[in-house]
Structures are given as structure tokens and as C-alpha cells.
């Protein structure tokens, strides 16, 4: 118990196994494009259950490549969720396309397939389907409407490693899926990401594009196409391999913390804990509660922060970010997303969060809610 001391919002779970693997890379002298990168990719593909996995320098880099390989270009539109991290929309802009936002389901907080279908225009090329907060979106419906309209689907699984949709692991629904390993995610490599696919040709293109457009067969200095340096180095891959080995244990520890919050919040008026969707298994990424309409979130946050408890308004609507407002977006466009993002509040959440600290968080939250009522 850490009475009076501060409780962070997130904290990575790294230990002796990761240290051992990092040392192995350092002592090998091969710090990039070595065997550790390959081992990490193979272990990750095996975990998710795809044929291939291409390690990249960040989730954002992975999204960029996946969108580019979907054939998205200038003048195209890419439909995505406004209730996500900004990269799921920015990846369309990187290729000169326009992100088009479709509103979300008020319970799952994921893209509403009917809203996606309504947003389709003759210029629509692809859908970036986000699995927000580790809860799978309705990927069957999105795949089906994409097939009907001839659209590509990219899955933004940056927050959903290990999540299952109707028993099936996220990443195995026939689309390239992008995972991310920033230190606040379920597993980390420091910075890093991964793109999974069953398609060997797509995988080869991902490898090439992330490695300066080099061909597999060709010379080191032979570049077949425009590429980027989106490689993941082997020190980061070593951390990642250790994390994959421990991923079941890490996810179970996070689920235990989430269950405890659920118990503690059961009798707390004024907040709604994250939704449970029958048949789907959330991979716990963050613990965002929804405050009742009308509750002064800033006042609640100020009180928690004053007691050393980190919390964040998670997530702000992408279309209302200054950069997107400057592109012409306005409040009122996406009412469900706007209502949710005005009321959501992420509480401290990580594997190993102390039970007493959780009680302290919920106690402080209750008092804050009483004070602002």
C-alpha cells in the first residue's frame, strides 16, 4: 500500500526474462536485422495465430504501411472511428487520403457498422477498424460490408493484443492487423509495433516497405520501391520476445485488476465501468469509466490528481483535435463519440496494481463524485 504516494496511470511489466534477452542481443553484437527480430516475429505470429508477423518501429508505422498496401492514395477516403488514438486517422492522411469518421456504438465504443455503411461514398477505399480499449469491434459485419462495397479493411489492434471476438483471436479475421508496443500497452518493446497477416505476398511487401523498399532477393543497396525505415531493432525485439513469452500471465494479471475495479465500483453511483459484451473477451488495455452526464469531469480529475492519483480524459474525439478542427471538423458531427469522450475517465491501471491502491482510487473517486454532485 502506498498511502499518500502517487499512483501512476500505467506501468510496464518487464522483468528478468526481458533483461536476459536484451543482454543476449547486446553480447551478440547484432543490434538490428539479426535473429532476435525473427524470433520475436515468429513468437508473435504463433501467439496470435497468423502465418506471418512483420515487426515495425511503431504501431503508427504499421498503420501507415497497411493503409498504403491497401492501395489507399490521394483523393481516396478511409472510414475510421473518431473514438480512437489519432494515428488511426492520420494514417490515411500520410497517403494523401481523407479520413471519414463514422460514429460509434454507445456500449462497445467501437465503430457502428451501420454508421460505417452510411459513410461510404464512391471515393471510399478502405476501413480502418479499431478495437478500442481492447474490446473487439464487430469485425464480421465490417468485413461483410467491405466485401459488398469492394473496400479493404485494416484492423487497428494496437490496444487489443490477445483479445478474442467470439472465441477467435483479434488479428485472425482475414485482414492485416496492426499491434502497438508503446510502454502503456499490454505488452511493450519501448517503441514498436507488429503487422500480422496470413498472406505471404503482403508480408513480403511489408518487410520491403519497412526496410527502405529493399527486395528480399536483391542486394543491400538495391531498392525496388519507395520504402521507409520502419524497422524494429533487435534490442527492442528482445524485450518483445520476453513479453510474448509472458503475455498470458500479463493479460491475466491485468484482467484480475480489472475484475477488482469491477467489484469496487459495483455500488458506486455516477459511474459506468467498461462494458462486457457477451461472447467477446476483452484484452484489458486501460480502465476507463464513464461518468454520468452532467458530472464535472474536470473537477473530479482535479480532486483525484490532488490526492496523487493519475487519471486522464481518455480518449478525446479525434475530429475535435485542433488539427482536425482546422481541417473543418466541428462538434455535433458524431454525437455518440462526443458524448462518450466528454465523460470517459481512465483510472490507474497496470499489471500488479496493488489492491489497497485500487481501493484508494475508488474511495477518492466516490468522494470526488459526492463533492461535485
Ligand X SMILES: *Cc1c(COP(=O)(O)O)cnc(C)c1O
The residues assigned a catalytic role are 185
Question: Closest by alpha carbon to 101, among 343, 345, 332, 287?
Answer: 332
Q: Which residues ranging from 184 to 223 are in contact with ligand X (CB under 6 A)?
A: 193
**Residue with smaller CB distance to ligand X, 105 or 156:** 156
Based on the shown chain and the rule CB under 6 A, indicate whether residue 60 belongs to the binding site for ligand X. yes
Site membership for ligand X, residue 156 (CB under 6 A):
yes
- Is 130 one of the binding residues for ligand X (CB under 6 A)? yes
The reply to whether 88 sits near ligand X by the rule CB under 6 A is: yes
Helix axes 297-306, 355-372, angle to 10 degrees: 140
136 binds ligand X (CB under 6 A): no
Residue range at the interface with ligand X (CB under 6 A); choices 84-92, 109-117, 244-252, 349-357: 84-92
Kindly indicate which of the ranges 8-16, 56-64, 169-177, 362-370 contains the residues binding ligand X, using the contact rule CB under 6 A.
56-64
Instruction: Give the C-alpha separation, 132 to 68, whole Å.
Output: 22
- In the complex, the smallest distance separating the C-beta of residue 282 from ligand X, rounded to whole angstroms, is 14
* 134 is a contact residue toward ligand X (CB under 6 A): no
145 sits in the region (left: phi over 0; alpha: psi -120 to 50; else beta) called alpha
Residues 6+ apart with CB under 8 A from 80: 88, 89, 92, 99, 100, 101, 102, 111, 127, 128, 129, 130, 156
**Do 14 and 354 meet the contact criterion of CB atoms below 8 Å apart?**
no
Instruction: Tell me: does residue 349 bind ligand X (CB under 6 A).
Output: no
Query: How many binding residues for ligand X (CB under 6 A)?
Result: 14
Choose between 67 and 364: whose C-beta lies nearer to ligand X: 67
- Residue of minimal CB distance from ligand X? 59
87 vs 170: CA distance, rounded Å: 19
Helix then strand then coil, in percent of the chain rounded to 5, is 40, 15, 45
Q: How many CA atoms lie within 13 A of 262 on its CB side?
A: 10
Query: CA torsion angle for 122, 128, 129, 133 (degrees, to 10)?
Result: -140
* Shortest spacing between CB 242 and ligand X, in angstroms: 18
Q: How many CB atoms lie within 10 A of CB 190?
A: 15
Interface with ligand X (CB under 6 A), residue from 13, 37, 45, 59: 59
What are the cell numbers at 85? 488514438
Q: Is 158 a binder of ligand X (CB under 6 A)?
A: yes
Is the CB of 90 or the CB of 197 nearer to ligand X? 90
Using the structure block, give the residue that is written with the C-alpha cell 538490428: 32
Instruction: Select from 45, 170, 180, 244 the one that contacts ligand X (CB under 6 A).
Output: 180
Q: What mask, x for binding ligand X by CB under 6 A, covers residues 228 to 247?
A: --------------------
Identify which range of 152-160, 221-229, 233-241, 293-301 contacts ligand X by CB under 6 A.
152-160
Contact footprint for ligand X (CB under 6 A): 58-60, 84-85, 87-88, 130, 156, 158-159, 180, 182, 193
Amino acid at each position: 500500500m502506498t498511502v499518500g504516494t502517487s499512483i501512476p496511470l500505467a506501468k510496464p511489466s518487464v522483468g528478468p526474462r526481458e533483461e536476459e534477452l536484451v543482454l543476449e542481443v547486446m553480447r551478440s553484437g547484432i543490434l538490428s536485422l539479426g535473429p532476435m527480430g525473427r524470433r520475436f516475429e515468429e513468437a508473435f505470429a504463433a501467439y496470435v495465430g497468423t502465418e506471418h508477423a512483420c515487426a515495425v518501429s511503431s504501431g503508427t508505422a504499421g498503420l501507415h504501411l497497411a493503409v498504403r498496401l491497401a492501395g489507399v492514395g490521394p483523393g481516396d477516403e478511409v472510414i475510421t472511428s473518431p473514438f480512437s488514438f489519432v494515428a488511426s486517422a492520420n494514417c490515411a492522411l500520410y497517403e494523401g487520403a481523407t479520413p471519414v469518421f463514422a460514429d460509434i456504438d454507445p456500449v462497445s465504443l467501437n465503430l457502428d457498422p451501420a454508421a460505417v455503411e452510411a459513410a461510404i461514398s464512391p471515393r471510399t477505399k478502405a476501413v480502418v477498424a479499431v478495437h478500442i480499449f481492447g474490446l473487439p469491434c464487430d469485425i464480421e459485419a465490417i468485413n461483410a460490408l467491405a466485401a459488398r462495397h469492394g473496400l479493404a479493411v485494416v484492423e487497428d489492434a494496437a490496444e487489443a493484443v490477445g483479445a478474442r471476438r467470439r472465441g477467435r483471436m483479434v488479428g485472425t479475421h482475414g485482414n492485416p492487423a496492426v499491434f502497438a508496443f508503446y510502454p502503456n500497452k499490454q505488452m511493450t518493446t519501448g517503441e514498436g509495433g507488429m503487422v500480422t497477416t496470413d498472406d505471404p505476398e503482403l508480408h513480403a511487401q511489408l518487410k520491403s516497405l519497412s526496410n527502405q523498399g529493399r527486395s528480399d532477393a536483391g542486394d543491400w543497396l538495391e531498392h525496388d520501391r519507395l520504402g521507409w525505415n520502419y524497422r524494429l531493432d533487435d534490442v527492442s525485439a528482445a524485450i518483445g520476445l520476453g513479453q510474448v513469452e509472458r503475455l498470458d500471465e500479463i493479460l491475466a494479471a491485468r484482467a484480475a485488476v480489472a475484475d477488482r475495479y469491477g467489484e469496487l465500483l459495483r455500488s458506486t453511483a455516477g459511474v459506468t465501468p467498461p462494458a462486457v459484451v457477451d461472447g467477446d473477451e476483452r484484452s484489458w488495455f486501460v480502465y476507463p469509466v464513464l461518468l454520468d452526464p452532467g458530472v464535472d469531469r474536470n473537477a473530479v480529475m482535479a480532486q483525484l490528481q490532488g490526492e496523487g492519483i493519475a487519471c486522464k480524459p481518455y480518449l478525446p474525439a479525434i475530429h475535435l483535435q485542433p488539427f482536425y478542427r482546422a481541417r473543418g471538423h466541428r462538434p455535433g458531427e458524431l454525437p455518440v463519440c462526443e458524448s462518450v469522450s466528454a465523460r470517459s475517465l481512465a483510472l490507474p491501471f497496470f499489471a500488479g496494481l496493488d489492491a489497497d491502491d485500487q481501493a484508494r482510487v475508488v474511495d477518492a473517486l466516490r468522494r470526488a463524485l459526492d463533492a461535485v454532485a
